[in-house]
Amino acid sequence: MFKTFIEPFRHPYPKLDVAKGNAERDAQAERAMAQEKQRRGGHGGSRGMPGPKIRAKNWSGTLGRIWQYLSVHRARLGAVLLMVVFSSALALLGPYMVGMAVDHYLEGGGGSWGLFLLGLLAVYAGSSLTTWLQNIWMIEIAQETVYRMRSELFAQLHKLPIPFYGKRQQGDIMSRLTNDMDNVSSTLNSSAIQIFSSVLTLLGTLGVMLYLSPLLTLLTFLVVPLMLAGMRWITKRTGPLYRKRQQDLGSLNGYIEETLSGQRIIKAFSQEQRVLRNFRERNEAILSSGFWAQTISGFIPKLMNGLNNLSFAMVAGIGAILAIRGHGAVTIGVIIVFVEYARQFTRPLNDLANQWNTLLSAIAGAERVFEVLDEQVEASDEAEAVELDSVHGAVAFSGIAFSYGEDDKGNTLEDISFAAKPGELIALVGPTGAGKTTLIQLLSRFYEPSRGTITIDGRDTRTIRRESLRSHMAFVLQDSFLFQGTVRENIRYGRLDATDAEVEEAAKLANAHSFIVRLPGGYDKVLDVGGGGISQGQRQLLGIARAILANPSILVLDEATSSIDTVTEIKIQEGLHRLMQGRTSFVIAHRLNTIRMADKIIVLKEGRLIEQGPHEELLSQRGFYHSLYHGGLMEE
């Protein structure tokens, strides 16, 4: 039994045995979830991995970086520290006054007890006031510091390249912005000032105790090595547990976000029980790391209280013996002061031990925040990068090669070369994973090619500022994301200065006006996050209206009509045809009635361009496109 009890102290991460479900059905659901994730904007199902493991960093380095944020408030921090000094000094003065008054009374001295009580009242009132001021000021500093850190973290998230989001769960990223930041906030609010106050109290108490009686001071100090040894043994085990708890919490948040987004797939494949088992596994991981962190760290106050009582007994007992025997330096008043100071001496140690747990959690959270802040941001535009006043739309891919990462075997794209004249409609076709969406992401500079060049109007896209380049492009993706707000605001996202009349005209061109006016509130209907309350096809129509309103020089339709029925698609073809007039358009589609309109069809297979040309010409070649067409992989 004893061995079972101490096992977590030796191995603080007990493994959890979670029953597996039907393997074939689980694998099928996993593939469906991956396809759903890819449909929702990821570049590949296999890249939706949990957040990276937390690596412990140098504590002094992490604390140093926190100090860089705090140092902006040096003047107010100075005032806080001054209040801490005053409150600590007044807290020491009260017991000293009581002890000296007792000795004075026992020695037969007179004096006004009323004056003494007023003085004692002033001391404790001053201590309370200075404590209140230091807490108020420190809370203000802490909140402003965390506000700045949170703002920088949120801004950093918008500077990071698309690959960062492809390799991390959104829930884990959100956990860093909320839970981890809250840990830092709570520590700065209370723990930081408490630690400094405890240190000052320790030093002040030690000084006065040595002045009154070195012998009794030595007795008090006998328990300190035991305290330090116990704290070291405990915190050595709680530190990794607190870091793992933060990691487990980020993983759980990521899984929750993923399952909420994939509810349709989960229900379609009847995977509710499997999801619950996986959730239980992650939840039990937090239960395990959190339970043992709190349990082991909970020994600290117990240890401190026990040693505190031991110190109190030694000081009171031996001090009383010395006072009875007439030891000149030890009096009843000195014993009273020492008993109180002994408690004041061990209480800061106890506070330090308790705050140490909070500090461990805050450092773990700060490490995760700084990990994101230290991520390589999207490469800056070249110094000579230019703004584009206008774009005619001549696009050329020359010898393009690209891979998503060093671990990938081979390139996702290899030796891609083709050109689009201004105003041409280019259709990209090929099996799933052929590289169609990747080409578009390279064109918009979400990724940079590892080899080759992409030019617009003869200018290398790497010499064009990203913001300027993307301002001349409009996208309608497989899943048009809608923000929380009105229908009008979501369409206006394509061009913020558009008038209401222009918004409605764009909706008419996209064939969205008729269903919008039937909504409760019409254009002023408030949509939930993601467009909840309207169908997937209607969300897609709003995405097309948004692109029309942007009035781009280059239009990208990535399976833009995949969620629209054939009848509706036919109705919007005229509007899209008018929109594409004079604009270079890239369309990723499987439906034949979309591909037939193309001036040029680019056929991709396994990352290589194998055929290009108009529809009839490619059919006459009886190649891979001919096989796709007659194999039924393109819809009528």
pLDDT tens by residue, 98-119: 777 676 666 665 556 667 778 7
- What does the domain layout of the chain look like in residue ranges? 69-373, 385-472+553-636, 482-551
* Residue 566 banded pLDDT, cuts 50, 70, 90: low
**β-strands 451-456, 395-402: how paired?**
antiparallel
Select, from the ranges 289-293, 343-347, 446-450, the one with the highest average predicted confidence (pLDDT). Answer: 446-450
Residues 269-276, mean pLDDT to the nearest whole number: 80
DSSP E strands: which ranges in 489-553?
A: 526-527
Give the per-residue pLDDT at 96: 72
pLDDT confidence of residue 49: 33
pLDDT attached to residue 418: 94
Determine the Cα angle at 178 with ends 176 and 184, to 5°. 80
Quickly state the pLDDT bin for 609 (edges 50, 70, 90): very high
Q: How confident is the model at residue 6 (pLDDT cuts 50, 70, 90)?
A: very low
Q: Which fold has domain 482-551?
A: Rossmann fold (3.40.50)
Whole-number pLDDT of residue 349: 65
Q: Are 87 and 64 in contact (CB under 8 A)?
A: no
Residue 576: how many CB atoms within 10 A of its CB?
Answer: 26
Q: Mind listing the pLDDT tens digit for each residue in 152-197?
A: 888 888 888 877 877 777 777 887 888 788 888 877 877 777 777 7
pLDDT value of position 488 = 93
Residue 328 has what pLDDT? 57
CATH class of segment(s) 69-373: mainly alpha
The number of beta carbons lying within 10 Å of the beta carbon of residue 580 is 17
Q: What is the pLDDT of residue 145?
A: 86
Q: What pLDDT, on the 0 to 100 scale, is given for residue 14?
A: 39
Q: Which residue has the higher pLDDT, 636 or 152?
A: 152
Would the pLDDT of 27 be above 50? no
pLDDT at 611 over 60: yes
- Alpha-carbon distance 290 to 244, whole Å? 9
pLDDT of 50 higher than 90: no
- pLDDT over 80 at 428, yes or no: yes
Instruction: Write down the pLDDT at residue 509.
Output: 84
Query: Is 610 a residue whose pLDDT tops 90?
Result: yes
Residue 384 pLDDT exceeds 80: no
Confidence of residue 42 (pLDDT cuts 50, 70, 90): very low
Burial of 176 (0-12, 13-18, 19+ CB in 10 A): buried
Sheet with 584-588, strands from edge to edge, namely: 473-476, 554-558, 584-588, 425-429, 600-605, 608-613
Residue range 211-239: mean pLDDT, rounded: 74
> Ranked by mean pLDDT, which of 270-279, 289-298, 309-318 comes out on top?
270-279
Does the structure show a pLDDT above 50 at 132? yes
CB-CB neighbours of 568 under 10 Å? 18
- Of the two residues 407 and 532, the one the predictor is more confident about is 532
CATH architecture of 385-472+553-636: 3-Layer(aba) Sandwich (3.40)
Rounded to an integer, what distance in angstroms lies between the CA atom of residue 242 and that of residue 611? 56
The CA distances from residue 200 to 85, 156, 229, 261, 559, in Å, are: 7, 38, 22, 52, 66
- The whole-angstrom separation of Cα 286 and Cα 208 is 46
- The pair of three-digit structure tokens given for residue 183, joined into one six-digit string: 């840990």
Q: Which residues contact 236 (CB under 8 A, 6 or more apart)?
A: none
Range from 355-359, 468-472, 477-481 that averages highest in pLDDT? 468-472
Helices (H), 158-223: 162-166, 170-175, 181-186, 192-212, 214-221
Q: What confidence tens digit (pLDDT) does each residue in 409-427 have?
A: 556 898 999 999 998 999 9
Q: Is the fold of 385-472+553-636 the same as that of 482-551? A: yes
452 pLDDT tier (thresholds 50, 70, 90): very high
* Whether the predicted pLDDT of 200 surpasses 90: no
- Mean pLDDT within 545-553: 87
Split at pLDDT 50, 70, 90, the class of 401 is very high
**All residues at 6 or more sequence positions from 48 whose CB lies less than 8 Å from its CB, including other chains:** 34, 37, 42, 166, 169, 258
Q: What is the pLDDT of residue 603?
A: 92
pLDDT band at 503 (very low <50, low <70, confident <90, very high): very high
Q: Residue 543 phi/psi, 5° resolution?
A: -65, -40
What is the overall mean pLDDT for the chain? 76
Q: What is the CA radius of gyration of the chain?
A: 35
State the pTM of this model. 0.61
